[in-house]
Amino acid sequence: MGGHAESRWDEAPWKKLSEEELETQYSPSRWVVRLGAEEALRTFSQMGAQATRQARASRRSLLHVPYGQGDGEKLDLYFPDGVSEALPFFVFLHGGYWQSGSKDTSAFMVDPLTSQGVAVVIVAYDIAPKGTLYLMVDQVTRSIAFLQKRYPSNKGIYLCGHSAGAHLAAMMLLANWTEHGVTPNLKGLFLVSGVYDLEPIMHTSQNDPLLLMWEDTQRHSPQLLLQAAPKPPVAPALPTLVIVGQHDSPEFQRQSREFFQVLCRGGWKATFEEIPNVDHFEIIENLTQKGYVLIQIILGIIFQQS
């Protein structure tokens, strides 16, 4: 058997951490040095709300568009100037450990992307305790199938997720699109400060509303699923960028690095970027700014390939 030492369950590095240390490693706000933990979370959601208000006031948009029957199955679209639907679509999945956050506080990147001709889509999904991980993954899958059907002339769907949203985005590498009657024109994946192995989360207070059991963590961890997959289940050419902040916690950095390694070993077209001078929240907050290195990276990928 060709198991890699670092992937053996009994050698997972997080298992050597105390319960208290694990809690700290998986509390991103505690790693913010510019602000206290609570203020960091408040600032993040205030900046997201402000950017969303501004996007809705300044851009042509379609708000609360249903992509399914459920109350929570809505998305917001923000368009560049002009009437063409032959656009690249940048789809964002917010974070918040699958239990907080909303599309109404997550439209950070609308101005810098729409001003360059990219449509931005912010997807809502049913967070816990209403939603289970199984439902959230299904909702995200359906939201992308919906977009492809509604905008068949799109110039590419670029999916980006932050933190828990990066987990949901990564799960799209395993999606069965034939079940949804459409193959989306997915051209890029941006995974920002994500969690790809859910087992450590089960041992923290983040699990209180999630109620993940061991079996759930195995079933919903792209790290484990892709490690076990004999071949990339969908087109391995899909460029996947694994991105982490310099000031993300060591466990978040390890999760990103190890997921990148699994993608490489599986033959995926993956790259890894550490964004300097940003923590878990600044890495997204700065997407409101045109000159931010991550905006430049995103636009570079979108426009080099269309």
7 annotated active-site: no
Cβ at position 245, least distance to ligand NFK in Å = 12
Nearer CB in complex with ligand NFK: 109/119: 109
Minimum distance of ligand NFK from residue 214's CB (angstroms) = 21
HSE on the CB side for 83, CA within 13 Å?
A: 0
How near is the Cβ of 69 to ligand NFK at its closest, in Å?
A: 26
How many angstroms separate the CA atoms of 255 and 249, rounded? 10
Residue 248 falls in the annotated catalytic set: yes
In the bound state with ligand NFK, the residue whose beta carbon lies nearer, of 97 and 260, is 97
Tell me the closest approach of the beta carbon of residue 148 to ligand NFK, in angstroms.
26
163 in catalytic set:
yes
Closer CB to ligand NFK, residue 74 or residue 280?
280
Nearer to ligand NFK, 248 or 258 (CB): 248
Closer residue to ligand NFK (CB): 155 or 254:
254
Annotated catalytic residue: which of 111, 216, 248, 279?
248
Smallest distance from ligand NFK to CB 101, Å? 6
Between 148 and 207, name the residue whose CB sits nearer to ligand NFK: 207
Peptide bond into 230 cis (omega under 30): no
Question: Who's near 45: CB < 8 A, 6+ residues apart?
Answer: 101, 105
The arrangement of strands across the sheet holding 157-162 comes to 60-66, 74-79, 119-123, 89-93, 157-162, 186-192, 240-245, 270-275
Binding site for ligand NFK (CB under 6 A): 27-29, 41, 44, 95-97, 101, 163-164
Catalytic residue among 61, 143, 163, 256: 163
Q: How far apart are CA 207 and CA 213, in angstroms?
A: 9
- The residue whose two tokens read 């199938």 is 145
Shortest separation between residue 17's beta carbon and ligand NFK, angstroms: 16
Q: How many CB atoms lie within 10 A of CB 130?
A: 13
* Catalytic machinery residues: 163, 248, 280
